Amino acid sequence: MIELTETTEDRAAGCCNPGLAPRIGPDEARELSDDLSILANPIRLQILDMLAQRDGHVCVCDLEVALPVKQPTVSHHLRLLRAAGMIDCERRGLWVYYFVQRESLADLRARMLDRFDALAYSTEQHD
pLDDT tens digits, residue range 34-45? 999 999 999 999
Architecture of the structural domain at 24-122:
Orthogonal Bundle (1.10)
Distances (CA, A) of 61 to 19, 89, 98, 99: 56, 13, 10, 13
Model pTM score: 0.79
Asked if 27 contacts 63 with a C-beta cutoff of 8 angstroms, the reply is: no
Domain boundaries, given as residue ranges, for the chain: 24-122
pLDDT tens digits, residue range 62-109? 999 999 999 999 999 999 999 999 999 999 999 999 999 999 999 999
pLDDT tens digits, residue range 5-36? 656 565 666 678 778 888 889 999 999 999 99
